[in-house]
Structure 1
Amino acid sequence: MSETTTDRAERPAEVTDPLLWGLSAAVADAHQPDDEQACVSPSCVGAAWPCAAWENAQEGLRAAQMPRPAPAPAGTPAEPGRDAATGWSTDEGPTGGAERLAVRAA
C-alpha cells in the first residue's frame, strides 16, 4: 500500500461520520498516482496528481473526523425566527421564500 492510500479496515477512533470517511477513503484510493505522477483513475484521464477528486476526498476525510455538535436537549426552544419542529426559518420555509414571493406578486 502506498503512502497515499487509506486502510479503510482501520478507521481512526476520531471518526465521527463513518459513512463519509468510508466513501472519502474509497475515492482517495481510486485516485492514486502512477509512475509519471498522473492519476490512474479512468475518470481523470491522466490528469496530474493530486487530482481534484483526490483533494476532495482528503477534505471528506478531514470532515469525517470533525466533532459533531451536541443535540439540543428535549424541550429546548427553537432559535428565534426558526420553526422548532423543522429548523426552517419562519420567514422562508423549505421553499426558500417562494410562498412569500407568491403573496407579494398577487
Structure 2
Amino acid sequence: MNPLIIPLISVIAGLIMIVFLRYFQNMERMSMIEKGLNPFDNQSIKRNRISPDNTLRFGLLLVGAGLGLLIGAIIAPYTQSEGIQVALVMIFGGAGLLLSYVIQIKNDRKSQ
C-alpha cells in the first residue's frame, strides 16, 4: 500500500468537512434572514467567536498536551507500555482543561 494514501485521504476529508460546515452555516444564516432575524444576534454564532475564555481553555489544553507528549517521550524508552504517550497526553490535556475551569471560576467570582 502506498504510504501517501492515508495523508492524502485525510487532507481531502478535512477539506470536504470544512466545505460542508461552511455550507450548513450559510444555510442556517439564510433561514434566519428569511424569518426576519439577525443571524449575528444568535447565541450559537456568537459562541464561535474568539473570546478570552476560549483562548485560555485551548491554550491550557495545548500546553497540557505538549507537556504530556514531552513526558511520554522521556518515559517511553523505560516502560513496556505501548500507549504511555497517548495516556499522558489525555491526562495532561484534561488537567489543562480542569485548570482553565478553576481559573475561569475564580475570574467569575472576582467580577461579581
Please give the TM-score of this superposition, normalised by the length of structure 1: 0.30
Please give the TM-score of this superposition, normalised by the length of structure 2: 0.29
